[in-house]
Amino acid sequence: MSGISWNDKYCLASKPLSFLHPNIPSMLSIGIITRGKYGRRLLDTIANHTEFTVSFADIPPTLPDFIDEPAPFVDNLDLDPKVLSSDLLINYSLNPDITPEIVERAASARAKAVIIPGGWARAGDPEKMKEISVQYGTRILVEDICCEIGDDTDPTINEFASVLGRPGLEVQVRDGKISNVKVICGAPCGSTWWMAEHLKGVPVSEAPAWGGLLVQQYPCRAVRGTMGGIHLSAELHKQAVEDATRKHHSGVN
């Protein structure tokens, strides 16, 4: 997008569809707290693959090791109220000291749901999160990896997960090879679309294993070297390819 800065790009992306196209009803509004590189791929994915409206607020990539007084610290971050009051806030602060403070501010601003990537180690006190959820009626979902997001009790998260979350695919096959892959639901980091493009031409019998391998080659920021993280993401994508090829052969698509 020549001549348009990264910030300008997402100002454009955050315009409601009802404003850009009057015949299309407004969609889910998503606010993202980014921290350095974390959260920016999600911005790209939303802009490129969804009709959600999106806004964001960036916090410094480097934070103190311990933040004794989160409230004044978050005050100094000067977070955009529009981001906090979105239907869904996705918080990449990745800091257990300030995450509960940011979540409570979003909940008090009437955010319907909050997703916290990175797991409980970076989310803060579970009891505090439960207290916030009960007080404001806000669904708070903590996930190690966002491509594990699926059916939920909350309609706002379900609307998000219908497009971004646990991968779902449709495939076309020609001469025993994958000829095309349609992403029905993809990982928020964008790895599913990258995998889909690189699966073309792969023999059907090898496609699931290739799908898992390709996701591990994608520069996803999920944790590596453990049983979860990127390895769980690879398994979820392998299963998605298996399901899609099975449906193709059974004529379900």
**pLDDT tens digit string along 47-104?**
999 999 999 999 999 999 999 999 999 999 999 999 999 999 999 999 999 999 999 9
The DSSP bridge pattern shows strands 113-117 and 139-143 to be parallel
Instruction: Of 13-17, 67-71, 105-109, 228-232, give the lowest mean pLDDT range.
Output: 13-17
Please check the confidence at residue 224 and state whether its pLDDT lies above 60.
no
Round the average pLDDT of the chain to a whole number and report it. 87
Could you give the CA distance from residue 114 to residue 116 in angstroms, rounded to a whole number?
A: 7
Q: Give CA separation, 228 vs 119, 143, 218, 222, 243, in Å.
A: 11, 11, 16, 9, 21
Please check the confidence at residue 229 and state whether its pLDDT lies above 80.
no
Please check the confidence at residue 28 and state whether its pLDDT lies above 80.
yes
Single out the residue of 212, 203, 204, 206 nearest to residue 240, CA to CA: 212
Question: For helices 6-13 and 40-49, what crossing angle results, to 10°?
Answer: 50
pLDDT of residue 231: 86
pTM higher than 0.75, yes or no? yes
Mean pLDDT of 2-10: 36
Mean pLDDT of 209-231: 75
Mean pLDDT of 214-236: 75
At 219, the pLDDT band (50, 70, 90 cuts) reads low
Could you give the CA distance from residue 112 to residue 150 in angstroms, rounded to a whole number?
A: 17
At 13, the pLDDT band (50, 70, 90 cuts) reads very low
At 252, the pLDDT band (50, 70, 90 cuts) reads low
Q: How many CB atoms lie within 10 A of CB 59?
A: 24
Mean pLDDT of 132-153: 94
Percentage of the chain with pLDDT > 90? 77
Contact 74, 50 (CB under 8 A): no
At 216, the pLDDT band (50, 70, 90 cuts) reads confident
Could you give the CA distance from residue 35 to residue 136 in angstroms, rounded to a whole number?
A: 26
Mean pLDDT of 138-162: 94
pLDDT of residue 223: 52
Beta bridge partners of 221: none
pLDDT of residue 217: 83
Residues near 204 by beta carbon (within 8 Å), at least 6 away in sequence: 173, 176, 177, 178, 245
What's the CA dihedral at 218, 160, 168, 51 to 10 degrees?
-80
Contact 112, 85 (CB under 8 A): no
